[in-house]
Amino acid sequence: MSKTLIRGARVLGGEPQDVLIDGGTVEAVGTDLSAEGAEVVEAGGKVLLPGLVDLHTHLREPGREDSETVLTGTRAAASGGYTAVFAMANTFPVADTAGVVEQVYRLGREHGYCDVQPIGAVTVGLEGRKLAELGAMHDSAAGVTVFSDDGKCVDDAVIMRRALEYVKAFGGVVAQHAQEPRLTEGAQMNEGVVSAELGLGGWPAVAEESIIARDVLLAEHVGSRVHICHLSTAGSVEIVRWAKSRGIDVTAEVTPHHLLLTDELVRSYDPVYKVNPPLRTERDVMALREALADGTIDIVATDHAPHPHEDKDCEWAAAAMGMVGLETALSVVQETMVDTGLLDWAGVADRMSFKPARIGQATGHGRPVSAGEPANLTLVDTAYRGTVDPAGFASRSRNTPYEGRELPGRVTHTWLRGKATLVDGKLT
């Protein structure tokens, strides 16, 4: 494999340096490195980050290849600067057996744009009644360590307790989609002033918070590890903060859209803003940003949820929930966290690469940009400003809430184990 010299890159936002890649490994980091025998990429002050890691991606394959496939989803991931994504289990069939998780894992490796680490279902068929074969999925070639019924909440406390006990044996983690089902029956948007005015069924914050409170207590009781998906309320932040102060082994994620958008957008009745959990209020958005900055929320995860246009271009009540996110995540984080002074680029590397890799045990990802480490890297033109045009997305779906919005930053290059997957903004 060839050599690549990335010249003059601000590693994690620091002073410009050269980074030499040899084969799949970072060979050296320093100033005035020799370009002999190497292809040179002039970074010109762009920010070099470890390849991003997404703990929450819906790749839709098998079963919903009309919205996304492992190929199109991993191309979208590479476009957004990701070198590893965790694929949620709510496919058709559900990823609740070793066979399905191995299939998804293998497809990711074969396509070669981004490593795919499958997430296994907690319960058979995501039905919430019987534990899936967690051990078999862990022992499979896919080596599953993260389990989730995402899309649905593991609402039965006994099942949740058993899952936490089971994964403890091999150091796995249960990722909970916290949504008390009875409290959210018929819910269409956040419960609050806007839902009352629009007359749409409300989704109360307490439906999320009550499950998080229960699950951190269960994790403490069992001595196991729980991860909370897509935190969306100020109250959820308070519970996680309390749990961490108590020494409970809990981690949490926030999506880019919950860091930027509010339920005021629902007044448009544009289903592109329909998402689960729903967009909340300005107060929630500010609490989430602050919690991501202070480490109460550990990571940013996209909850990339592609849907074909016929499932989104319809009336609000009938529309599917979810937004694509892989190709805009870093820009939204720059807008909401970096350009606001809440996080520096080292902080972004921490929240979008180091920590998600650690939570999911993604071997070889989320590593420092230093000699001897795997060359999983992403180069970002942070001075760029542009308008989001979904026509240019690599994802098969276009359901972005940012169409026409100006956002900062653009990923220009991504390397997966030294192989360029994105060059000058174009997929290889």
Which residue, 301 or 377, is less far from Zn ion as judged by CB? 301
Distance of CA 240 to the CA centre of its chain: 19
- In angstroms, give the least distance from the CB of 184 to Zn ion: 12
User: Shortest CA distance to 333 belongs to which of 414, 403, 411?
Assistant: 411
Q: Per the annotation, does 258 bind a ligand?
A: no
* Rg, C-alpha atoms of the chain: 20
Judge whether 303 counts as a catalytic residue: yes
Which residue minimizes CB distance to Zn ion?
Answer: 177
Which residue, 41 or 300, is less far from Zn ion as judged by CB? 300
Q: Per the annotation, does 59 bind a ligand?
A: yes
Query: Would strands 189-190 and 173-176 be described as parallel, antiparallel, or unpaired?
Result: unpaired
Using CA atoms, how far apart are residues 272 and 313, in angstroms rounded to an integer?
8
- In angstroms, give the least distance from the CB of 368 to Zn ion: 31
Q: Per the annotation, does 307 bind a ligand?
A: yes
Q: Per the annotation, does 230 bind a ligand?
A: yes
- In angstroms, give the least distance from the CB of 211 to Zn ion: 12
Cis peptide before 93 (omega within 30 of 0): yes
Using CA atoms, how far apart are residues 418 and 410, in angstroms rounded to an integer?
20
Three-state DSSP class for residue 26: strand
β partners of residue 411: 380
Q: Per the annotation, does 134 bind a ligand?
A: no
Q: Which of 18, 96, 303, 311 is catalytic?
A: 303
β partners of residue 385: 408
Q: Which residues bind Zn ion (CB under 5 A)?
A: 150, 177, 229
| Host H or E run for residue 407 | strand 406-416
User: Shortest CA distance to 49 belongs to which of 74, 72, 26, 31?
Assistant: 26
- In angstroms, give the least distance from the CB of 229 to Zn ion: 5
Which residue, 56 or 365, is less far from Zn ion as judged by CB? 56
Please name the amino acid found at residue 92: F
Which residue, 232 or 376, is less far from Zn ion as judged by CB? 232
Q: Per the annotation, does 304 bind a ligand?
A: no
Query: Would strands 419-423 and 426-427 be described as parallel, antiparallel, or unpaired?
Result: antiparallel
Would you state the structure tokens that stand for residue 86, as one six-digit string?
A: 């965790």
Burial (Cβ within 10 Å: 0-12, 13-18, ≥19) of residue 258: buried
Instruction: Report yes or no: 170 and 157 within 8 Å, Cβ to Cβ.
Output: no
| Cα dist from 11 to 18, 177, 415, 428, whole Å | 9, 34, 15, 23
Length of the chain as a residue count: 428
- In angstroms, give the least distance from the CB of 228 to Zn ion: 10
Which residue, 224 or 255, is less far from Zn ion as judged by CB? 255
Phi, psi of 205 (to 5 degrees): -55, -35
- In angstroms, give the least distance from the CB of 271 to Zn ion: 17
Which residue, 113 or 273, is less far from Zn ion as judged by CB? 273
Which residue, 231 or 234, is less far from Zn ion as judged by CB? 231
DSSP 8-state secondary structure symbol assigned to residue 338: I
- In angstroms, give the least distance from the CB of 62 to Zn ion: 19
Instruction: Report yes or no: 215 and 157 within 8 Å, Cβ to Cβ.
Output: no
Using CA atoms, how far apart are residues 227 and 103, in angstroms rounded to an integer?
25
Catalytic residues: 303
Annotated binding site: 56, 58-60, 90, 150, 177, 230, 276, 303, 307
Annotated binding site for substrate: 58-60, 90, 276, 307
